[in-house]
Amino acid sequence: MDEGVERAAGSLSLLALEGIPEVLPGMPLAPLITAALKRHSYTPADGDVLLVCQKIVSKSENRFVELASVQVSARAQELAVICGKDPRLVEIVLRESADVVRCAPRVLIVRHRLGYVMANAGVDQSNIPESQSRVLLLPADPDASAAALREALSRTLGAAPAVVITDTFGRPWRQGVCGTAIGASGIVALLDRRGEKDRFGRELQVTQVAIADGIAAAATLLMGEGAEGHPVILARGLPRAWKRDTARAADLLRPLAEDLFR
């Protein structure tokens, strides 16, 4: 492997795009993001990545569910008693999930049918209008959403930055949420460094690096969770060698057979 090609960048900048409006159901994101980029006098360059908050992707894809429409199953009712959450919310979480990992007071951690282990299957009531009556699901296929957004941006911008769709996840053993990549297109999500050597010629012990998660973690700090609302971050300066047309955030999921907690 050519170490020169795979070497890390010397600098990286992250910029929160101003002026992304409230996204309404069905509203395409590419024109909104293109307009915001143009206000920042953006010219595409190799190594650019747009980090896009899951919430605006879900809104654009109209992934809202009305709570009043939900028929609550016996299983959801049972879990709702344990975790103390709205039984209709628990029903929606179960429909999104392959597995319940943990249900305890105030805690409902599941394996989402897309493979992420996360609280409430990512079903969200914050930063959405009319949150008393409806909730917002994750995008149906975040890797496909990232690829479609990148494709649409390449038409409006001439060249396509990579796209990473981010969410914030709680983590075992550590406090606080951290930004995580749930969709990616155009950038390697998981970098395989097998065969590379350290500065003293010893084979690297760490061979796989979660590139997309690392960028997502920093970008979500700029997005903020509260009133500030910057759902799109432009990251610049990543190595050109991390460009991958076929990469997907799903590569970051540990295969079930290697899961130490099953």
Which among 165, 190, 173, 196 is positioned nearest to 252, based on CA atoms? 190
Among positive and negative, which fits the CA dihedral 132, 133, 136, 137?
Answer: positive
Q: How far, in Å, are 167, 178, 211, 221, 231 from residue 15 at the CA level?
A: 18, 18, 18, 11, 11
Answer for which of 70, 117, 135, 152 binds its own copies (CB under 8 A) is 117
Nearer to its own copies, 83 or 152 (CB): 83
Residue 154 one-letter amino acid:
S
- Residue 164 found at the interface with its own copies (CB under 8 A): no
Smallest distance from its own copies to CB 26, Å: 20
CA dihedral 148, 152, 155, 159 (to 10 degrees): -70
Q: Which stretch binds its own copies (CB under 8 A): 26-34, 68-76, 151-159, 212-220?
A: 212-220
**What does residue 18 show for φ and ψ, rounded to 5 degrees?**
-90, 150
Q: Which two tokens stand for residue 97?
A: 């999930």
- Residue 166 found at the interface with its own copies (CB under 8 A): no
Answer for which of 129, 159, 240, 245 binds its own copies (CB under 8 A) is 129
Answer for which of 41, 43, 71, 175 binds its own copies (CB under 8 A) is 175
Question: DSSP 3-state assignment of 203?
Answer: strand
- Residue 18 found at the interface with its own copies (CB under 8 A): yes
Answer for which of 34, 73, 125, 156 binds its own copies (CB under 8 A) is 125
Answer for which of 43, 194, 200, 246 binds its own copies (CB under 8 A) is 200
- Residue 134 found at the interface with its own copies (CB under 8 A): no
Q: Which two tokens stand for residue 240?
A: 């050109």
- Residue 39 found at the interface with its own copies (CB under 8 A): no
Binding to its own copies (CB under 8 A) within 61-100 occurs at none
- Residue 165 found at the interface with its own copies (CB under 8 A): no
